[in-house]
Amino acid sequence: MPIATTAVAHLRLTVTDINTSRRFYDSVFGWPVFAALPEDADAATREQLSFLFGGVIYDIGDALIGLRPTGTGTFDEDRVGLDHLAFRLPSLEHLEQAAAHLDQLGIDHEPIKDIGVAHILEFRDPDNIALELTARK
């Protein structure tokens, strides 16, 4: 019998520099932090939060998004693993506001595209991970 899932619980992206990535995700999305290792953490807290691997987990509402530093490497959507990560917005107007926000932050992005069933806005994070904002029609 198939496993009946109801939603994505969490996903974690590997990044080269956690500070650079946190600045990017904080400024673009402003998600609240669900879990992160405090700078002044004692040994017991470090052990308890070792699953973070020095990263952070954001609470985006219905799911958690984690960032885990791994050192070196470059994202490539043409390799096995991840093609891109898309986040849903309520409307084309929200996509337009998101494009303006990315412009204010100096983050390069593609123009909003009409792909028939939805509009999409594509951009990349500091590790070149392909991100997309989408608004269904």
Q: Note the pLDDT of residue 18.
A: 95
Q: What CATH architecture is 83-137? A: Roll (3.10)
Q: Note the pLDDT of residue 21.
A: 97
Query: What pLDDT band is residue 113 in, cutting at 50, 70 and 90?
Result: very high
* CATH 3.10.180.10 domain range(s) in the chain: 1-72, 83-137
The mean predicted confidence, pLDDT, of the chain is 94
For 29-33, 81-85, 107-111, which range has the lowest pLDDT when averaged over its residues?
Answer: 81-85
Looking at domain 1-72, does it have CATH number 3.40.50.620?
no
pLDDT digits (tens, 9 = 90+) for 59-78: 999 999 999 999 788 888 88
In what order do the strands lie in the sheet containing 85-88?
85-88, 130-136, 118-124, 113-114
CB 99 within 8 A of CB 92: no
pLDDT digits (tens, 9 = 90+) for 13-44: 999 999 999 999 999 999 999 999 888 999 99
How far is residue 81's CA from residue 53's CA, in Å, rounded to a whole number?
20
Mean pLDDT value across residues 119-133: 97
Residue scoring higher pLDDT (76 or 12): 12
